[in-house]
């Protein structure tokens, strides 16, 4: 059996879904520290369900999920909060907070019951504010932010939580191309420079191919996983959408519409 301990996150024959409804099965992948991984696939194939299952927001149906070699279900809530941070698509309930206050919430797993911030907490908060280019916005209320700015704040909060693993559900939805690339490059930088393992769901397959170290393609069959260039060589992207409408160009790593 593969050594699951060196991996930050791994799954073995994972089945996800709701009650008796299986959404996807045979999900197998493993990720080491410092890896940016995109989960791609057609609408309704199960990307968000997988992300919520990995984040322990809903139970798996079958198989195993390991966080640093330990089964996900064996973690206490406080152990989870120190290993894993999650950015979901729903806007936060606390939009009346300033940018700095919302990012400071990321330090909750480490603060005492009064919520007092230590010098180390403040350093993590400032590093996150700077890394996500939020210095000018630190005193602005979150409800006054654009979608792209709010997305940066939510990711900065996850960075402030300082977990080895960060999960994000569609972090680039509603953003223009420039801001999609900006967010994904910031995530790539966070993964590579801070040795974080970052997993996100996306419809931006072209960008995921260009920027991710690993990609999981949910295809409803065997869910191929690997480096984007390996998956291109193995022709997996060609099978994602009906070829009479959309063709994958393996040379450029992009999709083209049949006219
Ligand atoms: N709470 C729920 N109960 C039962 N079925 C659900 C529930 N939420 C989602 N589903 C179903 O699970 C399947 C996968 O949905 P999911 O949202 O995970 O797909 P997705 O790949 O993220 O889709 P999209 O690309 O459209 O966001 C769909 O058939 C969906 O209808």
Q: What does 183-208 look like in DSSP terms, one character per residue?
A: HHHHHHHHHHHH--EEEEE-S-HHHH
For residue 102, give Cα distances in angstroms to 125, 137, 191, 232: 10, 12, 22, 40
* 232 has pLDDT over 80: yes
Residue nearest to atom 27 of ligand 1 (CA): 43
Q: How confident is the model at residue 114 (pLDDT cuts 50, 70, 90)?
A: low
Q: How confident is the model at residue 1 (pLDDT cuts 50, 70, 90)?
A: very low
More confident: 4 or 129: 129
Say how far apart CA 249 and CA 25 lie, in whole Å: 28
Q: How confident is the model at residue 239 (pLDDT cuts 50, 70, 90)?
A: confident
Residue nearest to atom 5 of ligand 1 (CA): 18
Say how far apart CA 133 and CA 41 lie, in whole Å: 30
Q: How confident is the model at residue 229 (pLDDT cuts 50, 70, 90)?
A: very high
The two tokens of residue 242 are: 């009906």
**DSSP state letter for 34:** T
Domain boundaries, the chain: 9-257
pLDDT at 211: 96
46 touches ligand 1 (CB under 6 Å): yes
The two tokens of residue 239 are: 């099978």
Alpha helix segments (H runs only) across the chain: 47-54, 77-83, 99-104, 119-131, 147-161, 177-194, 205-211, 228-233
pLDDT at 257: 87
Average pLDDT over the chain reads 91
* 185 has pLDDT over 90: yes
What is the pTM (predicted TM-score) of this model?
A: 0.92
Q: For residue 17, which atom of ligand 1 is closest to its CA?
A: 12
38 touches ligand 1 (CB under 6 Å): no
Residue nearest to atom 6 of ligand 1 (CA): 18
Say how far apart CA 104 and CA 237 lie, in whole Å: 40
3-state helix, strand, coil in the chain (%, to 5): 40, 25, 40
Does the domain spanning 9-257 belong to CATH 1.10.3720.10? no
What's the CA-to-centroid distance between 173 and ligand 1, angstroms? 16
This model of the complex carries an ipTM of 0.98
Q: Which of 16, 44, 173 to mutate to test the pocket of ligand 1 (most atoms within 8 A of CB)?
A: 44
Residue nearest to atom 2 of ligand 1 (CA): 18
Taking only the tens place, the pLDDT of each residue in 136-163 is 999 999 999 988 899 899 999 999 999 9
pLDDT at 5: 61
pLDDT at 74: 95
Q: Which of 45, 50, 58, 171 to mutate to test the pocket of ligand 1 (most atoms within 8 A of CB)?
A: 45
For residue 219, give Cα distances in angstroms to 72, 181, 191: 24, 25, 26
pLDDT at 54: 97
Residues 32-58 have a mean pLDDT of 96
Q: Which of 43, 46, 58, 241 to mutate to test the pocket of ligand 1 (most atoms within 8 A of CB)?
A: 46
For residue 80, give Cα distances in angstroms to 41, 75, 243: 27, 6, 42
pLDDT at 69: 92
Range with the poorest average pLDDT among 92-101, 172-181, 204-213: 92-101
pLDDT at 137: 96
β-bridge pairing 9-18 and 62-67: antiparallel
Let me know the angle formed at the C-alpha of 75 by 109 and 100, rounded to the nearest 5 degrees: 20
pLDDT at 73: 95
Residues 121-149 have a mean pLDDT of 92
53 touches ligand 1 (CB under 6 Å): no
């Amino acid at each position: 059996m593969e050594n699951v301990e060196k991996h930050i996150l791994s799954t073995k024959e994972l089945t996800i879904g709701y009650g008796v409804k299986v959404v996807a099965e045979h999900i197998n992948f493993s990720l080491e520290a410092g890896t940016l991984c995109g989960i791609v696939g057609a609408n309704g194939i199960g990307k968000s369900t997988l992300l919520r299952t990995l984040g322990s927001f809903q139970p798996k149906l079958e198989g195993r999920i390991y966080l640093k070699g330990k089964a996900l279900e064996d973690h206490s809530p406080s152990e989870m909060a120190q290993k894993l941070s999650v950015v979901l698509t729903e806007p936060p309930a606390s939009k009346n907070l300033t940018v700095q206050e919302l990012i400071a919430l990321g330090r909750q797993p480490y603060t005492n019951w009064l919520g007092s911030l230590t010098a180390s907490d403040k350093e993590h908060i400032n590093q996150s504010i700077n890394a996500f280019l939020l210095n000018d916005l630190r005193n602005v209320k979150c409800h006054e932010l654009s979608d792209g700015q709010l997305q940066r704040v939510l990711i900065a909060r996850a960075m402030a939580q300082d977990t080895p693993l960060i999960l994000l559900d569609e972090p680039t939805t509603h953003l223009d191309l420039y801001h999609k690339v900006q967010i994904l490059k910031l995530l790539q930088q966070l993964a590579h420079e801070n040795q974080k393992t970052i997993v996100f769901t996306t419809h931006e397959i072209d960008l995921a191919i260009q920027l991710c170290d690993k990609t999981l393609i949910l295809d409803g069959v065997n869910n191929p996983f690997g480096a984007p260039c390996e998956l291109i060589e193995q022709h997996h992207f060609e099978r994602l959408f009906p070829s009479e409408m959309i063709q994958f160009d393996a040379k450029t790593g992009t999709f083209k519409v049949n006219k």
